[in-house]
Structure 1
Amino acid sequence: MPTPPSARRAALRRPAALGSLLATALAAGLLAAPEAASAEGLRIHDIQGTTRISPLAGRQVADVPGVVTGVRAFGSARGFWMQDTHPDRNEATSEGIFVFTGSTSPAVAVGDAVTVSGTVTEYYPGGEAAGLQSVTELTKATWRVASSGNALPAPVRLSPSQIPDRYAPDAHGGSIEKLALRPGTYALDRYESLEGMRVSVQNAPVVGATSPHNELWVTAEPRRNRTGRGGALYGAYRDPNAGRVKVTSLIPFAQRPFPVANVGDELSGTTAGPLDYDNFGGYTLQATELGKLTDRGLKRETTRKQRGDELAVATYNVENLSPKTSQAKFDRLASALVTNLASPDIVALEEVQDDNGVTDNGVVDAGQTLKKLTDAIKAAGGPAYEWRQINPVNDQDGGQPGGNIRTAFLFNPARVSFTDKPGGDSTTAVKAVREGGKAALSASPGRVEPGDAAWANSRKPLAGQFTFRGQRVFVVANHFNSKGGDQGVDSRFQPPARSSEVQRTQQAKIVNAFVKQLLAADRNANVIVAGDLNDYQFSPALKALTAGKVLTDQVARLPRAQRYGYVYQGNSQVLDHILTSSHVRRVDYDIVHVNAEFADQASDHDPQVLRWKP
């Protein structure tokens, strides 16, 4: 879920905390007498040092020379970047640094030669507890402008030859801050060695569409892990696509509007500027020069319509949908369901909010939300869908506070029937029973183990019993807990901790056990598990969900370049899944790309559909 722009800007900069003073400095004399050090020519690379933490952290420095390479004159994180025009020969030491001026716009211009005095500070975006790397800065700064209009240092071009294949050193989960930088060995070390310096990308493919915050993602490795539609495929923890770099702009929008790009487009020519680091994506090219947007014409996909003897089951995360959502979004979701997904027979919806959205006044019903959606579907030429859902206990299922998100079913009664059985409510667990010699549900719809601690502050799975052409079909709609709290791939702790996956793995085990109950009642039971599982096909959670070969993850049966339906920080990845029991054969599965790769989205997830011929 995207951060609101106002909150995002406010979070960009908090008061910087001083980094701890390290025992060792570049030279003992520098720490003992900083005034004398400045007279002897203290340079930016002396401040940056050969690790992620400055050897002068917490110290006052004076008269550090450089040329201004970029100015941020907006927001609460104002300041400027400067770079030494006389670098040393150590590739581990950066020649650039950010001078933080708070909410005051600095009275400097690009090309000014300056000498700066201030405090060497290690700033942790998002706070030190967030686990990200720090940015070495000069704070409480004063400066003198010696001359203007000076030539800027040539940018370091980011390219496959510059970026090592190995992403980060392995500290067994510990911090890599004190490790000596090895920019020829690890990609994160390469970026850190360029912190604050001018870098560039040339003819850079866009792998993350322009966001509402005027940022996009490119890759400096055009041939690495590309999807069939131009993205960067995230297919393993060990390979997070090291060439990804976020691009924002220091150019006033009145002078140069930020490009509105989709995945697969290109920033042609040169994009250059200082290399920054923040808590909304890590290493960021703050562009003072933007390449020209080349539109590669990415189109939204449309899947084929199911045949008369095929059951079509879809899943779609509709991203915090409530009656307060704009009608335009309802219409776009409806159009996608009718046109792009060809009116599936059953739809598992995620992130359906209650009837007053985020107003937290005890309302939990979602009838108005679902009526508004089904009305929009009929207006778009779709079927007269009915719905089934169970209201959650107020404020117990996570998501936006007050929103009471839940999963729900839509179904086309002209094609499929729903078996209504009383007894399902927010706290009663549905059970697999044997009825008429076949598996059945004790309640339909029903929630799967809603009282288990694994579902604390998380959505509970919704099970429903359907009939299609005489066949019983059990569908379980899911929305596992989010990845909130996990350390990012660019964390200073390597490998990063994925604490949230513990709960998802527990949730997966519960759903797996429920499927086993159905199969114990009838080994030929037709079970389809669908939804936003918030995890990858190679994750521990998906391994737990498919354990015992009771379910097949259909994602794994797609060609590798098609295994994605969500784009995060330039990585095309899998979060949504449809899984099937062994008796559900002869299936046709499609992830329908209509949202995640586009700057203009109705949701941040792509829907997907499974067609099955009993």
Structure 2
Amino acid sequence: MPSKSSARLAALTVAAACSAASTIVLTTPAHAESVRVHDIQGDTRISPYAGKQVTDVTGIVTGVRTYGSSRGFWIQDPSPDADPATSEGVFVFTSSTPKGVAVGDSVKVSGTVAEYVPGGTGSGNQALTEITKPTTTVLSSGNELPAATAVTARSVPAAYSPTGDPAANGSINALPLQPAKYALDYYESLEGMTVKVADTRVVGATDPYTELWVTVKPHENRTRQGGTVYGSYDAQNTGRLQIQSLGPSADFPKANVGDTLAGTTAGPLDYNQFGGYTLVAGELGTLDSAGRERETTRKQRSSELAVATYNVENLDPTDETFAAHASAIVNNLRSPDIVSLEEIQDNNGAKNDGTVAADQTLTKLIDAIVAAGGPRYDWRSIDPADGTDGGEPGGNIRQAFLFNPERVSFADRPGGDATTATGVTKIRGKAHLTLSPGRIAPADEAWKNSRKPLAGEFVFRGRTVFVIANHFNSKGGDQGLTSQYQPPARSSETQRHQQATLVNAFVKDILDTQKNANVVTLGDINDFEFSRTAELLEGEGELWSAIKSLPRGERYSYVYQGNSQVLDQILISPSIRRGCDFEYDSVHVNAEFHDQISDHDPQVLRFRP
């Protein structure tokens, strides 16, 4: 599952997906052969006719796509065979806007069968069986459409996918489909066919690209708000299905998680780069709003220190979201004493001219917080070297601390810069940072093209609290849950594991110097609370991810492809955890809403140092 930044790139139109795709041609085109749709689809993921010419393939046109690069139409054979593994539908790729065909036409199509891989073969995605370079003859019009196959909680298997063939590097492409046993096989057996869902709950809010996610399994790992929790690598949530529309984007519902797409939603079942199996609706249900409101945490007591982490998604001075972010910090987070911000961009955002300072970005946010009725925060950060920390080119994202000087003081120790590492020293028996703010091992290869951790030393009511702000390597490049490789590879983990190991070692230095030190390690970890990354951060008890103090159904900060999951975490040292005198809140103000100002929900920890 990609991270915020990769997910933002992933949320492109089907047209963009097509432009980056590859086509697998397995054989040289052979002589034309008259076959049925189910013969072309076969009982595996790869057509037995891939690369061959076929002639006079008959079917009823069930949908026409006129937008993007993936233009064409779907046909379905109204006379199915008896094999549940062989789909009766197929996409006919015309490249340009289809002409002379309409829904309800009975047609015969001749062309070349191809296996099209959205995102290219290097993506690991499955292939979509198509007829390309078609010649189409309309036999009649106004025909009754084949009945839509109902996708329901009972029809979708509980098991997600078979294990890939070791002899094929883990690919499931050549395995015979078992649609009654595996969810991915079930969806594949319906590829190109008209399917329908009814009265489905929304588990992924409408995004800017007119797509949303629903579940046909309303009780599957349900959150209190109506989402679906991704709680382990074996809980992929088989009831999730992406919905797009063949109609005008203006007519697409603006849905939040927990809403219902009431009535029937029906259309061809497609496969695309950014969601896998997708119902492309010719008939769209009606939005039934659940009336969701953004959450508000409680105000910290005078004796409690409130520390928050908030990914503000590439914030730069040209953005129009400052007032909304300020309102979230003041009204929903109740003005935490310390706020770790991720994705603060430099003073001219994505303009790539060597600018690295972000004082204008931070000052504009602080002024907006004051205007919203909040405190006048002070801030600390370290400018990165130009173009070295990943993220949007030219943006030079970094972490930054906001802190309320009326409640918290900052221990400034000069010398910290983009390339100089801070360390730990002992003064009068207590641990202190050599540089504050300072970066942790910024020259280490673990941080190549990635954000370096920002460490700061704060004092609250006479007690020192070390805060380490993080934004680990994104999930970009990982194979998706619907990959042809099962289980999918998570290649981006390698760098996060290295990063987690370094941060844990730094925390261990603090605790070795002062056993009872208060350490808070937080930020966009870009990985789950059950992941190996989290385990390495926690180490042998040096830290503990406090989101695990919440009920399982409340553990999420981000929604990706209909899965509510943890990417943002606050980890605490034993002195904070031991007294059990802390409170954690994942404040759901963004991830579940179609009008989000960031795709991450902020996290808040309250405790008494």
- TM norm. shorter chain > 0.5: yes
Query: Is the alpha carbon distance of 1:263 and 1:417 closer, same or farther for their aligned partners in structure 2, counting shifts above 3 Å?
Result: same
- What residue in structure 2 maps to residue 26 of structure 1? none
Q: Contact between 2:31 and 2:52, CA under 8 Å: does it hold in 1?
A: no
- What residue in structure 2 maps to residue 549 of structure 1? 541
Deviation of residue 7 (structure 1)?
6.2
Counterpart AA for 1:19:
I
- What residue in structure 1 maps to residue 586 of structure 2? 591
Following the alignment from structure 2 to structure 1, what is the Cα–Cα distance between the partners of residues 225 and 453?
32
- What residue in structure 2 maps to residue 207 of structure 1? 203
Answering whether residue 222 of structure 2 is matched by residue 230 of structure 1, we say no
* 1:274-423 alignment runs, 5 A limit: 274-326=268-320, 329-423=321-415
- What residue in structure 2 maps to residue 427 of structure 1? 419
* 1:458-497 alignment runs, 5 A limit: 458-497=450-489
- What residue in structure 1 maps to residue 24 of structure 2? 19
Deviation of residue 251 (structure 1)?
2.0
> What secondary structure, in the 3-state scheme, does the structure 2 residue paired with 1:66 have?
strand
Query: Is the alpha carbon distance of 1:203 and 1:502 closer, same or farther for their aligned partners in structure 2, counting shifts above 3 Å?
Result: same
Counterpart AA for 1:167:
Y
Q: Contact between 1:87 and 1:95, CA under 8 Å: does it hold in 2?
A: yes
Counterpart AA for 1:612:
F
- What residue in structure 1 maps to residue 506 of structure 2? 514
CA RMSD of aligned residues (A): 1.5
Give the alignment's TM-score, normalised by structure 1. 0.95
Q: Contact between 1:18 and 1:58, CA under 8 Å: does it hold in 2?
A: no
Following the alignment from structure 1 to structure 2, what is the Cα–Cα distance between the partners of residues 9 and 181?
26
Deviation of residue 16 (structure 1)?
6.5
CA deviations over 1:556-595 (Å, ceiling 9, x no partner): 1110100001000100000000010010141011000000
Counterpart AA for 1:152:
L
Query: Is the alpha carbon distance of 1:500 and 1:253 closer, same or farther for their aligned partners in structure 2, counting shifts above 3 Å?
Result: closer
Following the alignment from structure 2 to structure 1, what is the Cα–Cα distance between the partners of residues 325 and 60?
51
- Structure 2 unaligned blocks of 5 or more: none
Deviation of residue 209 (structure 1)?
0.2
Answering whether residue 605 of structure 2 is matched by residue 610 of structure 1, we say yes
Of the candidates 178, 182, 185, which is equivalent to residue 189 of structure 1? Answer: 185
Q: Contact between 1:78 and 1:106, CA under 8 Å: does it hold in 2?
A: no
Query: Is the alpha carbon distance of 1:32 and 1:20 closer, same or farther for their aligned partners in structure 2, counting shifts above 3 Å?
Result: closer
CA deviations over 1:227-269 (Å, ceiling 9, x no partner): 0100010001111111111001012346xx1000000000111
Of the candidates 253, 258, 262, which is equivalent to residue 259 of structure 1? Answer: 253
Following the alignment from structure 1 to structure 2, what is the Cα–Cα distance between the partners of residues 366 and 441?
24
- What residue in structure 2 maps to residue 154 of structure 1? 147
Q: Contact between 1:206 and 1:262, CA under 8 Å: does it hold in 2?
A: yes
Q: Contact between 1:316 and 1:608, CA under 8 Å: does it hold in 2?
A: yes
Answering whether residue 61 of structure 2 is matched by residue 56 of structure 1, we say no
> What secondary structure, in the 3-state scheme, does the structure 2 residue paired with 1:548 have?
coil
- What residue in structure 1 maps to residue 109 of structure 2? 116
Following the alignment from structure 2 to structure 1, what is the Cα–Cα distance between the partners of residues 363 and 20?
47
Deviation of residue 547 (structure 1)?
1.2
Following the alignment from structure 1 to structure 2, what is the Cα–Cα distance between the partners of residues 511 and 63?
63
- What residue in structure 1 maps to residue 240 of structure 2? 244
Following the alignment from structure 2 to structure 1, what is the Cα–Cα distance between the partners of residues 86 and 94?
24
Counterpart AA for 1:558:
L
Query: Is the alpha carbon distance of 1:16 and 1:456 closer, same or farther for their aligned partners in structure 2, counting shifts above 3 Å?
Result: closer
Query: Is the alpha carbon distance of 1:10 and 1:44 closer, same or farther for their aligned partners in structure 2, counting shifts above 3 Å?
Result: closer
Deviation of residue 22 (structure 1)?
6.7
Deviation of residue 105 (structure 1)?
2.7
Of the candidates 494, 505, 527, which is equivalent to residue 502 of structure 1? Answer: 494
Query: Is the alpha carbon distance of 1:106 and 1:77 closer, same or farther for their aligned partners in structure 2, counting shifts above 3 Å?
Result: farther
Following the alignment from structure 1 to structure 2, what is the Cα–Cα distance between the partners of residues 386 and 8?
41
Query: Is the alpha carbon distance of 1:527 and 1:63 closer, same or farther for their aligned partners in structure 2, counting shifts above 3 Å?
Result: same
Deviation of residue 270 (structure 1)?
0.6
Which 4+ residue blocks in structure 1 deviate beyond 4 angstroms? 2-7, 15-18
- What residue in structure 2 maps to residue 169 of structure 1? 162
Deviation of residue 107 (structure 1)?
2.1
- What residue in structure 2 maps to residue 270 of structure 1? 264
Deviation of residue 13 (structure 1)?
1.6
Q: Contact between 1:5 and 1:212, CA under 8 Å: does it hold in 2?
A: no
Following the alignment from structure 2 to structure 1, what is the Cα–Cα distance between the partners of residues 162 and 220?
20
Following the alignment from structure 1 to structure 2, what is the Cα–Cα distance between the partners of residues 425 and 571?
38
- Structure 1 unaligned blocks of 5 or more: 24-30
Answering whether residue 133 of structure 2 is matched by residue 137 of structure 1, we say no
Q: Contact between 1:314 and 1:607, CA under 8 Å: does it hold in 2?
A: yes
Counterpart AA for 2:592:
E
Following the alignment from structure 1 to structure 2, what is the Cα–Cα distance between the partners of residues 405 and 166?
40
CA deviations over 1:25-67 (Å, ceiling 9, x no partner): xxxxxx98544xx2xxx20000000110000000110100000
Deviation of residue 325 (structure 1)?
1.2
> What secondary structure, in the 3-state scheme, does the structure 1 residue paired with 2:419 have?
coil
Q: Contact between 1:70 and 1:273, CA under 8 Å: does it hold in 2?
A: yes
Q: Contact between 1:390 and 1:424, CA under 8 Å: does it hold in 2?
A: yes
Q: Contact between 2:72 and 2:92, CA under 8 Å: does it hold in 1?
A: yes
Counterpart AA for 1:300:
R
Deviation of residue 412 (structure 1)?
0.1
Q: Contact between 1:113 and 1:147, CA under 8 Å: does it hold in 2?
A: yes
Deviation of residue 540 (structure 1)?
0.7
Following the alignment from structure 1 to structure 2, what is the Cα–Cα distance between the partners of residues 187 and 282?
12
> What secondary structure, in the 3-state scheme, does the structure 2 residue paired with 1:13 have?
helix
Following the alignment from structure 1 to structure 2, what is the Cα–Cα distance between the partners of residues 106 and 374?
56
Q: Contact between 1:74 and 1:105, CA under 8 Å: does it hold in 2?
A: no
Following the alignment from structure 1 to structure 2, what is the Cα–Cα distance between the partners of residues 285 and 106?
23
Following the alignment from structure 1 to structure 2, what is the Cα–Cα distance between the partners of residues 353 and 476?
19
Following the alignment from structure 2 to structure 1, what is the Cα–Cα distance between the partners of residues 20 and 391?
29
Query: Is the alpha carbon distance of 1:12 and 1:498 closer, same or farther for their aligned partners in structure 2, counting shifts above 3 Å?
Result: same
- What residue in structure 2 maps to residue 28 of structure 1? none
Q: Contact between 1:525 and 1:583, CA under 8 Å: does it hold in 2?
A: yes
Counterpart AA for 2:117:
Y
